[in-house]
Amino acid sequence: MEYKTQTRQMILDCMIENPDRIFKASELAQSLPTISLSTIYRNLSRLEKAGVVQIVGAEENKELQYRYTGPGRCQAKMHLVCKECGKFFHLDGPALKMLQLSVMRVNGFELDQQQSVLLGRCAGCAHRRPRRRRI
């Protein structure tokens, strides 16, 4: 087990206080101005290796996004993540079962629920800004 630093705990506390969000390192740096961006990246990397945070994906500008997955957080469900507001939602029940069966049937591929995230827009963000139609 790795030594727990005060800085690492501050980053974790920020993520734990906002359990239904994903974070970019730059957002954490804005929330924690006493910690440098490079220190935040270094600690997020260590937390990801320890299984306490998960890399969710990258935005168009290639900045990685992270979510807290430590003790007390769900780990056996697939998640839907809004690319605009950063909230994530559980995908479970019949919808998850149908997706898993369909992927298995069509591709012969078994999904890892804990590591799987589907990106899109939540109902609130979709309502605020309608999608552009392609011509």
**Cβ neighbours of 42 (radius 10 Å):** 14
Q: What pTM does this model have?
A: 0.66
Residue 128 belongs to what domain range?
74-135
The separation between CA 73 and the C-alpha centre of its own chain, rounded to angstroms, equals 12
- How confident is residue 1, by pLDDT bands cut at 50, 70 and 90? very low
Do 69 and 6 belong to one domain? yes
Stretch (H or E) spanning 5: none
Which of 55-59, 84-88, 130-134 reaches the highest mean pLDDT?
A: 84-88
Domain with 84 in it: what CATH number? Answer: 3.30.1490.190
Q: Which two tokens stand for residue 43?
A: 């600690």
Domain-ending residue, one of 73, 88, 104? 73
Q: What angle do CA 61, 125, 128 make, to 5 degrees?
A: 115
